[in-house]
Each structure stands twice: as C-alpha cells, then as structure tokens.
Structure 1
Amino acid sequence: MDIRCGTAGWTDKTLIACKRFYPPGSSSAEARLRFYASQFPLVEVDSAYYAMPSASNAQLWTERTPEGFTFNFKAFRLFTGHQTSPDVLPKDIAMALPEGITGPRKKNVYYRDIPAEILDELWRRYLEALEPLRASGRLGAVLFQFAPWITRAPDGLALVEECRARMADYMMAAEFRNQSWFDDQHAPWTLDFLRERSLVHVIVDAPPDVTNRVHTIWEATHPQLAMVRLHGRNTQAWSATGAASAADRFDYDYSDDELTGLAPSIRAIATRAGRTHVIFNNCFEDQGQRNARTLMSILGASASPL
C-alpha cells in the first residue's frame, strides 16, 4: 500500500505563530518548505483556492523539495462556483471585466458571470502555474472543492463537466459539499459519474451533524488515486458566519482514538487504488501536522516514507 499523509498548506499564520512545528531559524519561505518536506511526503497548496497561483512560485517549490515529494493543488475558487471578489483576480483581468458584472453593489462575481474569453485566459494562467511541478513529477491531483450550492441540477453538472474538460490532461479530484450528490438515493449514480469521467472521489471526514457537507462514502473511483481529506469535527465552527479564517473554522484536534478508528478504513481504501493521499485540513496552529504524524505512526509500514 502507498499511503501518503500531509496537510493543507504549510504557511498558515497560526502555524507559524505557535512556534511548535518549525525549528528555530526557519524564518524564510524556503526554510519552512524545506523543513516541511523533510517531515511529510505530501502537501496541499491551499492558497491556490484564494488567489491565482504563479509559475514562478511553483518553480521555487520544485527547487526546494526532494524528488518524490507531491503537491496537490486546490482549484481557484471562481472555478468551483464560489463567490469571488474581483480584488483577488489578476489586476488586468479585473480591469477587463464588463461594467455590468461589477460595480459598487456587486462585491463578488461568479463563474457564470465571466465572459468566455476571460475564462479562457484565467484557465490558461492557472494551468501555466502548474507546469513546473508537473514537469518535475511533483504534481499530484488538482482538487475541485465545489461550493455548497453546486447540486446535481443541470447547471451544477455542466460546471463539473466543464472543469473536467479543462483538466483533461491532469488528475482531477472532486469534493462536493451539497448532500444531493451522496444522499442514499443518488450516491451510486454519483460514484458512477465520477468513475466514467476518471475523476477522483474525495472521501471527507467532517462534523457528522451538519447539513452543508456530503456523507462520508468510503469508495475509490480512480485506479491510480484515492483521496481522504480530514476537516475536523468542530460542529460549532463549521457553519459559523463571520469566521476570521479557515483556521478558525477547522479548529479541531483529532484524538489518538479517533485517528486509530480511521486507520482501518484508510488501509482498506488503499487496497483499491495505486496511491492514497490523506490530507489534514484542520489548519489551526500545528494540529494538522501533529495529527498527520500520529496517523503515520498508527499506519506504520502502510504509510509511505519521506
């Protein structure tokens, strides 16, 4: 079994501020990434959700990590149907937006608002940013975490299909948040939908008693990769409005018993795909890093070495 564990990001402000993960002297971006890559074989580039990534950064990441290290990328928020402020778009793109979709009363734009030629350019730049990692063999999957309002309705299916077409040459993983995808009636259909399109089904661990998440379905839909993302089980913070940051929303420290309970399912799913990625998204302080280390210890020989 090839099971690789890592965290969603390595530069969260609370992680750096807590001073428990990085050793003294790791004050530069290069030092932090080099240290992280000495501890884990996998990381998720969470920042690519909030702003368009750059090829220059990807080239630096390639140079600062060893061969065999893997970067999963999170898709830019506009591509996954989320509300997106024009302020986070490249300046020339924001300036090229038609006046009708921006203005003082419109704080956000959506994928459906953007003219086709501008979408083409955004996709081109996004894929260009992935190229240094792909060329070096360090690019894993690109994660599309679709907005909670993206359902199985025709417009939702059309968005997934367009993303799949744009990512035809890449490994694409899909994490849904709307329960319509994996309720009792539609889960088999959705799994078949993913398999037929060679999309990786993302298995989620999240608070069990909230509605804006899908059910946890332990299935693999791609022969090469299975993906498990652990968001923590903080019910109170999951749906809180006005959360200061993702770190606040996913503030949760998995107990050793909880991680031990997850290990058999992770081992089982790892027998159904060539490789399994386990990402801890509980990004408050060093919780994700500590939990990832603990899980690697529990998995023992099943976890891939650094």
Structure 2
Amino acid sequence: MIYIGVTGWGDQDSLYASHIKPKDKLKEYAAHFPIVEVDASFYAVQPLRNSEKWVKDTPADFQFVVKAYQGMTGHERGEIPFKTKEEMFHAFKQSLTPYLTTGKLAMVLFQFPPWFRCSKENVEYLRFCKSQMGNIPCALEFRHQSWFEQEYYTKTLAFMEKEQWIHSICDEPQAGSGSVPIIIKATHGTSTLVRFHGRNQHGWNASGQKNWRDVRYLYRYNHHELNAWKDFVTQLQQESEHVYLLFNNNSGGDAADNAKMMMDILRIEYHNLAPRQLDLF
C-alpha cells in the first residue's frame, strides 16, 4: 500500500477552515491523509497525554511516523534531560506506547545530522540505536554524502538491510556533502519511507542566515517533478510491502498541496479517512 501525507499537521493552512481550532487540526488533517510525521518528538520526548490524544483523534487505520528525539541522533540543540543514553532511549520508547497499543506506529525515524559521517564509530552507534529500539520498526535517514559515496554505497545499503533499518529515501537539493542523492532501493521487506524536502539548493546550506530554517524547505514541486516519481514508487512497491511518501516542504505551505498532487498522479483515493468538518456557512 502507498501512504501519502506530510510532516506535521499544524502548519498546513490550506487544509483548514478559519474556525478550526489548533487542538482540532489533527482531526481535520486525518480527513485528507492517512499518515503524518510527528515532529514534536524530535524537540522533546512527548508526554503520554499527547500521543494518547493524537491516536484518539485519528481513524483506526491512520499511521504515524514518529521522529526520534534529537538526543538520540546527536543533534542536541538544547539541554538533554537524561543521565545516560539508555535512560533516554527508555523514556522515548515509553512515549510510543499509545501508538504501539493501537497499531498506529508506522515507524520511528532516525534522521541524523549533516556532520554524522560514515565512520566505524558511527556504524557502531547505529547498531546501538537498533539494539535499544528492539523490535520497534525504525527508519534511517542520512544527511552526509559519505554514506553513499562509491566506496561505501553498497556496504551502507547491505548494512541497513542486515540490521533491518527501513530506508528513508530523500528527495532534496544536491548541495554538496550535506545532502544525499536519491537512492531508489528498499532495505526492508515491509516498509520504505520517502521524504520530499524540496529542491531549494540556495536555502539548503545557508545556515548562517537568520531565517535559515524558514527558507531551507521553501520549495513547491511542479507536476513534472512529481510525475517522475511514478516509476520510482512502482519499483519500491515491488521491493517493499508498504511505501510511505511524506512531504516536508513546509516553509511556504506547499507540502499539503504537493501531497495531494502526488495522490492525483498516482491515482490514489483513500476510503478510510476521518469525516471532514463542515464550514460555518
């Protein structure tokens, strides 16, 4: 099956009527798409009350991709409130309980930063992450090109397959060592993830700019660019039971529109979505 959605539901203004309250946005989002990426979990391990509400607000067949906490992937932008890595992983796994008990967890996404290079030390850390997560399905996304350089390309994919990492394939600007090419290869028989980050090459590496995070994902795919993915998705379906397509080009509010464009291109219509709320008039 192909699941199409976006990363986060809060900023998708094109989906919501003006009277929709923030607390009700996920309910309305679930009337449009069958999957969403939870980004709040990257910034803090979420309390159970949040994930309990989110699974309650969505239909039985709805799926979540939950982003791994930043301390687990070496971003560590703020203070990490855990004494050990093991304590941090345990707390994160506990936060997943509502998704797991309802069957709504598609996977946990480990997105590593651009400075996470292909090295023996980092390979060992990936093994540690996988051992800590146990049987929970986990996707792996690299941001440093070294993992897919000619010397390591085959070894990286073989390692991911052996360790049962779900491949998070990236459509992103080709902007030097801090980006990876599109690699159409499943490493897991059950699931494959594709994340569309946009192709804003200028904004991708402009980390010195004040509004860098606002422009990094500022991009709107055209029909031709997304249509080129038809054959790629067909190939991935032959290698993996489920293919998840998530749009992360949120800076200009383009993600939801591009996700719907992709649904049209692939001629997908979902029938188990939530009922849409009616406008006031």
Distance in 2 (CA, whole Å) between partners of 1:184 and 1:67 is 43
CA distance in 2, matches of 1:23, 1:263: 31
Q: Relative to structure 1, is the Cα distance of residues 233 and 33 closer, same or farther in structure 2, using a 3 angstrom cutoff?
A: same
Distance of 2:144 and 2:31 partners within structure 1: 36
| Partner of residue 261, structure 1 | 228
Aligned length: 271
The answer to whether residue 229 in structure 2 is matched with residue 230 in structure 1 is no
The answer to whether the aligner puts 1:187 opposite 2:153 as a matched pair is yes
Local SS of the residue matching 1:156: helix
Judge conservation of contact 1:246–1:283 (CA < 8 Å) in 2. Answer: no
Counterpart for residue 170 of structure 2:
204
CA distance in 2, matches of 1:237, 1:204: 16
Alignment of 1:1-306 (within 5 A): 2-12=1-11, 15=12, 19-29=13-23, 31-86=24-79, 89-90=80-81, 93=82, 115=83, 118-241=84-207, 242-244=209-211, 246-301=213-268, 305=271, 306=273
Deviates more, 1:276-285 or 1:216-225: 276-285
- Matched residue SS, 1:300: coil
Instruction: For 1:24 and 1:154, locate their aligned partners in 2 and report how far apart those are by CA, in whole Å.
Output: 51
Provide the rounded CA distance (Å) in 1 between the counterparts of 2:88 and 2:25: 29
Taking the aligned partners of 2:102 and 2:14, their CA distance within structure 1 comes to 31
Q: What is the Cα deviation at residue 73 of structure 1?
A: 0.5
CA distance in 2, matches of 1:120, 1:209: 35
Supply the distance in 1 between the matched residues of 2:92 and 2:212 (Cα, whole angstroms).
24
AA partner of residue 51 (structure 1): A
Please state how far the C-alpha of 1:304 moved relative to its aligned partner.
5.2
Q: Which amino acid aligns with 2:30?
A: A
Distance 1:222 1:68, change over 3 A: same
The verdict on how the C-alpha distance between 1:247 and 1:71 changes in structure 2, with shifts beyond 3 A counting, is farther
C-alpha separation between the residues in 1 aligned to 2:218 and 2:210?
11
Helix, strand or coil: the match of 1:82? coil
| C-alpha deviation, 1:38, in angstroms | 0.7
CA RMSD of aligned residues (A): 1.6
Deviates more, 1:163-172 or 1:209-218: 209-218
Give 3-state SS (helix, strand or coil) of 1:38's partner: coil
CA distance in 2, matches of 1:5, 1:231: 14
Say which structure is richer in helix.
1
CA contact 1:210–1:235 (8 Å) conserved in 2: no
More off after superposition, 284-293 vs 59-68:
284-293
Closer, same or farther: CA 230–69 of 1 in aligned 2, 3 Å: same
SS in 1 for 2:211: coil
The range that moved more, 166-175 or 76-85, is 76-85
Deviations 1:31-77 (A, max 9, x none): 20000011000100012112222211000001100001000001111
Question: Shift in Å at residue 243 of structure 1?
Answer: 4.7
Q: Deviations over 1:253-302 (max 9, x none)?
A: 0011111112221122122111000010111243000000000010014x
For the 8 Å contact 1:21–1:286, the answer to whether it is kept is no
Unaligned runs of 5+ in 2: 274-281
Q: Distance in 2 between matches of 1:40 and 1:146?
A: 26
The whole-number CA distance in structure 2 between the counterparts of 1:53 and 1:188 is 36
2:278 aligns to what? none
Quote the Cα distance in structure 2 between the aligned partners of 1:189 and 1:297: 36
Shift of 1:228: 0.6
CA contact (8 A) 2:145 2:178 kept: yes
The residue type equivalent to 1:21 in the other structure is L
Distance in 1 (CA, whole Å) between partners of 2:121 and 2:77 is 18
SS in structure 1 of the partner of residue 116 of structure 2? coil
Identity of aligned residues (%): 31
Structure 1 gaps of 5+ residues are: 94-114
2:58 aligned counterpart, secondary structure? coil
